[in-house]
Amino acid sequence: MEMERTLKGAGLFDIWQKVKAGERLNFDDGVKLFRTDNFRAVGLLADYVRRKLHGNRTYYVINQHINYSNICGNGCRFCAFGQSPGSPQAFQLSVADILDKVKERLNDPITEIHIVGGCHPALPFSFYLDVLREIKKLRPDVTLKAFTAVEIAHFAKLSGLSEKEVLQELRSAGLDVLPGGGAEIFSPRVRKMVCPEKISGDEWLRISRLAHKIGIRSNATMLFGHVESIEERVDHLLRLRDLQDQTSGFICFIPLAFQPSNTSLSNLAKVTPIDCLKTIAVSRLLLDNILHVKSYWIMLGINTAQVALHFGADDLDGTVIEEKIGHMAGAESDQALTRSELIRVIREAGFEAVERDTYFDIVRKAA
């Protein structure tokens, strides 16, 4: 009753009736949810859906992030990670360096290695194939989640292969899943302003579709809180939902809060926790066909990430170990959490901690 009173008071009773009936929300519903001043009411709706799907579970993964290079010619204005060759902050790991990082963690019960980098102008396609092959030799048991749709398009351009051939070769070398980066905001207006050199939103969706079609599943992201409008956020979410209707290939959706420090958009304000929570909640409500929504603690910080578990998110990501993309842009979170810290954070938020693999198959429940 109290929930209904809150939702009526917030002018969201019509949306509550749709949510309760399991009806799909539309574009106008999404805009209305973003525009309401009562973010708690949006959270109540998202939490209702989240608990219906996942009960009291919150997932985490024992994973390792590896960034092979930050050298990139794209110059996206929101990015503090990408550097031109010769920049003092530029780095490039060799296959041996990458294997050393994997070897350092060989005794950890890692189930996923996440590998991304910039669009390096000179590294040959064979480098990426070698990275995957050599890691798989060392750790045949881990899932390799590597290379965004943006990197896939870059490899195709560099190698002269089609994107499909690139994906097939990477898969033969050990690629299991694509991470969801590079989606940013699909709107051409926004991309023209913040990442004109990057592939378009249509291309990102096309490459994701191609991957799903040949059996490579992927994640999806949305970078929010820079120059996009509310309508452009909703459009982004609905375009993901449309593709998921067709392929069922997305495993998890990850809303990424823009981090302005050290970027060309450093004049913009940092995204507020309220905006983060509302965006996660609206994502949960609109993306009725993507089972998991991540509260990515690296970008949100632990405090907001914990609260987000009550606003529709069901996953906290993982141990990570070393993170460069968010931290070069001023993310203030730690770079790593241990399994026991992840479990403590989840329990403190009132949830049951469940370890998962990349596909959200359960590895173990915390004792």
Binding stretches for ligand SF4 (CB under 6 A): 72, 74-76, 79, 81-82, 118-119, 150, 195, 198
Q: What angle do CA 336, 268, 238 make, to 5 degrees?
A: 75
CB closer to ligand SF4, 187 vs 306: 187
Question: Closest distance between ligand SF4 and the C-beta of residue 126, in Å?
Answer: 21
Angstrom distance (rounded) from CA 50 to CA 44: 10
Question: Closest distance between ligand SF4 and the C-beta of residue 326, in Å?
Answer: 12
CB 298 within 8 A of CB 266: no
Residue 286, CB half-sphere, CA atoms under 13 Å: how many?
27
CB closer to ligand SF4, 159 vs 289: 159
Other Cβ atoms less than 10 A from the Cβ of 100: the count is 11
Q: Please give the biggest Cα pair distance in the chain.
A: 62
CB closer to ligand SF4, 90 vs 95: 90
CB 256 within 8 A of CB 296: yes
Question: Closest distance between ligand SF4 and the C-beta of residue 263, in Å?
Answer: 9
The residues pairing with 221 across neighbouring beta strands, listed in sequence order, are: 254
Which amino acid is residue 159, in one-letter code?
S
Question: Closest distance between ligand SF4 and the C-beta of residue 108, in Å?
Answer: 27
CB closer to ligand SF4, 150 vs 276: 150
CB closer to ligand SF4, 98 vs 149: 149
DSSP 122: S
CB 58 within 8 A of CB 349: yes
- Phi and psi at residue 175, to the nearest 5°: -65, 135
CB closer to ligand SF4, 50 vs 198: 198
CB 201 within 8 A of CB 243: no
Angstrom distance (rounded) from CA 86 to CA 134: 28
CB closer to ligand SF4, 11 vs 75: 75
Q: Could you tell me the CA-to-CA distances from 19 to 48, 170, 227 in Å, in that order? A: 9, 40, 30
Question: Closest distance between ligand SF4 and the C-beta of residue 257, in Å?
Answer: 15
